[in-house]
């Protein structure tokens, strides 16, 4: 069969079977669209809930705290609970097989507050020139902060230089989605936050009339970035600065212990074994992280279920399309026989059906 005759025959078949071809195309679109939609929905929900809202850590990373036990209205540790999380303990954890990194987190156990100058954009909305607030700070090992969160800055404390500050990415999201919308404030980006500079007054609290017995000290601070490893409520400072303030104001009475520690395993498969060893040492996973991981596992299960449903829909669509083409060939067997009788070869008939399938596929792809 010559090429012009082949294309005329193909056009004739398509015109006579437009309805069945459109239904086949619709089946492909519905099946493929459902698959892509459910997979994207599950992945998107998991990404937003577990990372942006709950801050789930990677599978090879956990945050541990000393074990505590509940006694009515109180929770106690020590002899009844977990061990102390100090430098010696961190070294013991580092020596465990499968541990890649260990980063300690230490609270600043000093009353302090911050004096934050308000940008002119906010002052135009009737806000004061400066904002005073009680300051909650936590020190962390600079090596624990990913370089991408620092935006080229250095997260290290140096005498005579402004104290580098990190804030939580979730805190920034909460501000942009709640306070900024409710009060009409400008929304902030990670780059805009880096322009914030303020003074920290250590040894003085907004809730006390008197300063600390060792007096108040002012430290210039500079926000250098936004990080998921920063404390949710408050600011994160270099560990060296937290140690310095605790030593100045608490002296020998300072316990010099960490509130928590981030453990990074060399491989995710090492994590179950490490957890058992760490629990024997008197530590457990941080409570919010346990909850976040459970939520993440639940969302993962739902995502897999939606993916399975969409895959079933896709298979059913493929079966229906195959059945539609089979019925097309079956219903037109007399016409196909007639075409064969006037000189068409088997390859011509096969090419005719293949071209119809390609046209249906192209139509679905464009839609």
In this predicted structure, the answer to whether residue 156 has a pLDDT above a threshold of 90 is yes
How far is the C-alpha of 70 from the C-alpha of 328, rounded, in Å? Answer: 72
User: Exposed, middle or buried, 326 (CB in 10 Å: 0-12/13-18/19+)?
Assistant: exposed
Q: What is the pLDDT, as a whole number, of residue 202?
A: 92
**Confidence tier at 79 by pLDDT (50, 70, 90):** very low
In this predicted structure, the answer to whether residue 367 has a pLDDT above a threshold of 60 is no
* Domain membership flag for residue 257: yes
Better pLDDT: 314 or 221: 221
pLDDT in tens, 293-329: 666 667 667 777 877 877 787 777 777 767 767 776 7
Same domain, 153 and 48: no
How far is the C-alpha of 254 from the C-alpha of 165, rounded, in Å? Answer: 23
8 Å CB contact between 50 and 228? no
How far is the C-alpha of 39 from the C-alpha of 300, rounded, in Å? Answer: 11
* Domain membership flag for residue 11: yes
Percent of the chain whose pLDDT exceeds 70: 71
CA 276 vs. chain centroid, Å, equals 26
Same domain, 126 and 272: yes
Lowest mean pLDDT among 70-74, 109-113, 185-189, 235-239: 70-74
Same domain, 273 and 136: yes
* Domain membership flag for residue 192: yes
Domain count, the chain: 2
pTM over 0.75: no
* Domain membership flag for residue 160: yes
**Confidence tier at 77 by pLDDT (50, 70, 90):** low
Same domain, 277 and 188: yes
Residue 357 structural domain: 3-52+303-366
Q: Which of 223, 248, 281 is the last residue of a domain?
A: 281
* Domain membership flag for residue 78: no
Same domain, 210 and 122: yes
In this predicted structure, the answer to whether residue 141 has a pLDDT above a threshold of 70 is yes
Q: Which of 62, 133, 67 is nearest to 101 (CA)?
A: 62
pLDDT in tens, 158-175: 998 999 999 988 888 888
8 Å CB contact between 246 and 254? yes
């Amino acid at each position: 069969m010559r090429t012009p005759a082949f294309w005329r025959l193909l056009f004739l078949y398509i015109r006579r079977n437009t309805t069945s071809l459109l239904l086949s195309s619709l089946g492909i679109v519905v099946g493929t669209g459902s698959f892509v939609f459910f997979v994207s929905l599950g992945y998107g929900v998991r990404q937003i809930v577990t990372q942006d809202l709950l801050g789930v850590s990677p599978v090879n990373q956990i945050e541990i705290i000393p074990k505590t036990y509940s006694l009515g209205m109180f929770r106690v540790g020590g002899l009844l609970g977990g061990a102390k999380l100090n430098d010696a303990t961190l070294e013991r954890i580092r020596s465990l097989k499968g541990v890649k990194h260990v980063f300690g987190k230490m609270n600043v156990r000093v009353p302090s507050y911050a004096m934050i100058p308000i940008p002119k954009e906010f002052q135009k909305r009737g806000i004061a020139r400066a904002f005073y607030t009680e300051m909650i700070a936590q020190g962390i090992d600079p090596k624990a902060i990913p370089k991408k969160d620092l935006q080229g800055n250095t997260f290290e404390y140096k005498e005579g230089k402004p104290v580098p500050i990190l804030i939580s990415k979730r805190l920034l999201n909460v501000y942009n989605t709640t306070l900024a919308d409710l009060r009409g404030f400008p929304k902030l980006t990670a780059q805009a936050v880096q322009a914030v500079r303020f003074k920290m007054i250590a040894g003085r609290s907004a809730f006390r009339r008197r300063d600390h017995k060792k007096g108040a000290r002012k430290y210039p601070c500079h926000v250098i970035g936004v990080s998921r490893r920063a404390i949710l409520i408050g600011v994160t400072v270099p560990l060296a600065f937290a140690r310095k303030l605790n030593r100045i104001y608490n002296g020998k009475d300072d316990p010099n212990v960490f509130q928590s520690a981030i453990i990074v395993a060399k491989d995710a498969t090492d994590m179950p074994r490490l957890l058992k060893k760490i629990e024997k040492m008197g530590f457990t996973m941080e409570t919010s992280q346990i909850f976040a991981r459970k939520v993440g596992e639940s969302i993962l299960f739902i995502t897999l279920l939606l993916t399975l449903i969409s895959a079933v829909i896709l298979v059913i669509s493929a079966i229906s399309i195959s059945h539609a083409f089979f019925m097309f060939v079956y219903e037109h067997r007399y016409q196909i026989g007639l075409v064969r009788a006037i000189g068409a070869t088997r390859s011509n008939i096969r090419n005719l059906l293949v071209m119809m399938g390609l046209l249906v596929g192209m139509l679905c792809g464009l839609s």
